[in-house]
């Protein structure tokens, strides 16, 4: 493997940034390898965008360093950092054609006209919009505009792409389509990708690794499926949507995965609440461990009368620190 392939696309070391009395980012360190997608995930206001903006050079951190492709860029302005940016309001130039929008980055870098055109066409082909090169942004759908914004970032051939909630302005159907497209696209271009999202599904669908942020700090970083399967704390589990987190009153909580709940054997548990969903029912039951929430498929749902017989496989239950009350 060449040295270039071994050099991380991004190294952010101990970044801190405050706005007045708000400490938005506290000592965040991250690495994104070439060809890897890392999703920065966390609730609104936890500092995700600020990390991205510090990396892009749109904010100056009080402390910490940023390296892009092994080169320190901490003191450089955004245009000298060699990163491709895609933000949620993709801000295409309305008076320029799709091709000229995409060519804008390379042309600003003083490349020859034929080369600029070639780069822009290649980038448009990557996002499957080559045929719409002559249109103007207003003549495109939201999803197509978002793909133009991506092509514009790709055309810079930056070793690092930064995406801030790139799909958030799109409807659910388009989001689902683009998620699949983006994953394949990231695989093809070989750049490191740092993507900010508050949408767990998006993170899981797009990213190789996820970094979960809480109140300005990283609280768990790891391969996406592993973080979703094994949250290190009750707060991370709750943020990732785990329905069954049972406080133990000793600063710890039990995490009960869906597959640990075995139906049809064991304790008869009174049903305390029931809600019909698109795919079946969500029921709450009173179990000796505590209150449990279960999703029942349409096939299982009729079995739920006033009580539900179930067993919790304790071998699959994890005990984690219950840190949900910390600020």
Ligand X SMILES: Nc1ncnc2c1ncn2[C@@H]1O[C@H](COP(=O)(O)OP(=O)(O)OP(=O)(O)O)[C@@H](O)[C@H]1O
Q: Which of 11, 37, 49, 158 binds ligand X (CB under 6 A)?
A: 49
* Closer of 217 and 309 to ligand X (Cβ): 217
Q: Would you count residue 48 as binding ligand X (CB under 6 A)?
A: yes
Q: Would you count residue 175 as binding ligand X (CB under 6 A)?
A: no
Strand spans (E) along 70-228: 71-72, 83-86, 160-164, 192-197, 209-214, 217-223
| One-character DSSP codes across 162-173 | EEESTTTTS-HH
Residue 37: CA count within 13 A, CB half-sphere: 24
**Contact code string over 17-36 relative to ligand X, x by CB under 6 A:** --x--x-x------------
* Closer of 24 and 38 to ligand X (Cβ): 24
Count of beta carbons in the 10 Å neighbourhood of residue 62: 12
8 Å CB contact between 106 and 156 = yes
Q: Would you count residue 64 as binding ligand X (CB under 6 A)?
A: no
Q: Would you count residue 264 as binding ligand X (CB under 6 A)?
A: no
Q: Which of 11, 12, 47, 133 binds ligand X (CB under 6 A)?
A: 47
Number of residues that bind ligand X (CB under 6 A): 12
Torsion angles phi and psi, residue 292, rounded to 5? -115, 145
* Closer of 28 and 151 to ligand X (Cβ): 28
Q: Would you count residue 195 as binding ligand X (CB under 6 A)?
A: no
Q: Which of 14, 45, 115, 180 binds ligand X (CB under 6 A)?
A: 45
8 Å CB contact between 151 and 132 = no
Q: Which of 2, 44, 288, 327 binds ligand X (CB under 6 A)?
A: 44
Q: Would you count residue 60 as binding ligand X (CB under 6 A)?
A: no
**Residue at token pair 């070639």:** 118
**What is the spatial distance between Cα 217 and Cα 50, in angstroms, rounded to a whole number?**
12
Instruction: For residue 75, give every residue at least 6 positions away whose Cβ sits within 8 Å of its Cβ, in sequence order, or none.
Output: none
Contact region with ligand X (CB under 6 A), list: 44-52, 234-242, 279-287, 318-326: 44-52
**What is the spatial distance between Cα 226 and Cα 316, in angstroms, rounded to a whole number?**
15
Q: How many residues does the chain have?
A: 327
* Closer of 41 and 123 to ligand X (Cβ): 41
Q: Which residues bind to ligand X, rule: CB under 6 A?
A: 19, 22, 24, 42, 44-50, 198
């Amino acid at each position: 493997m060449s040295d270039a392939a071994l050099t991380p696309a991004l190294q952010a070391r101990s970044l801190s940034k405050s706005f007045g009395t708000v400490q938005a980012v506290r000592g965040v360190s991250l690495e994104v390898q070439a060809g890897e997608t890392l999703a920065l995930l966390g609730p609104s206001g936890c500092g995700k965008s600020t990390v991205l903006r510090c990396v892009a050079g749109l904010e100056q951190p009080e402390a910490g360093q940023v390296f892009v492709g092994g080169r320190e860029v901490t003191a450089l302005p955004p245009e000298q950092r060699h990163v491709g940016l895609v933000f949620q309001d993709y801000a295409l130039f309305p008076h320029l054609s799709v091709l000229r929008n995409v060519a804008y980055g390379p042309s600003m870098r003083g490349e020859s006209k034929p080369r600029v055109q070639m780069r822009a066409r290649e980038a448009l082909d990557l996002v499957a919009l080559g045929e719409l090169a002559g249109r103007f942004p207003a003549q495109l759908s939201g999803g197509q505009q978002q793909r133009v914004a991506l092509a514009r970032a790709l055309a810079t051939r930056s070793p690092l792409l930064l995406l801030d909630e790139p799909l958030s302005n799109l409807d659910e159907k388009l989001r689902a389509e683009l998620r699949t497209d983006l994953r394949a696209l990231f695989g093809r271009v070989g750049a490191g990708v740092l993507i900010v999202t508050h949408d767990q599904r998006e993170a899981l669908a797009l990213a190789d690794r996820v970094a979960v942020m809480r109140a300005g700090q990283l609280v768990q970083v790891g391969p996406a499926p592993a973080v979703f399967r094994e949250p290190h704390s009750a707060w991370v589990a709750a943020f990732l949507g785990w329905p069954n987190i049972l406080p133990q009153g000793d600063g710890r909580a039990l995490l009960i995965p869906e597959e640990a709940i075995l139906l049809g054997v064991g304790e008869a548990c009174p049903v305390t609440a029931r809600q019909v969903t698109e795919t079946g029912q969500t029921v709450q039951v009173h179990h000796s461990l505590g209150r449990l929430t279960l999703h029942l498929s349409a096939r299982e749902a009729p079995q739920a009368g006033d009580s539900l017989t179930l067993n919790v496989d304790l071998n699959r239950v994890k005990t984690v620190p219950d840190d949900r009350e910390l600020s």
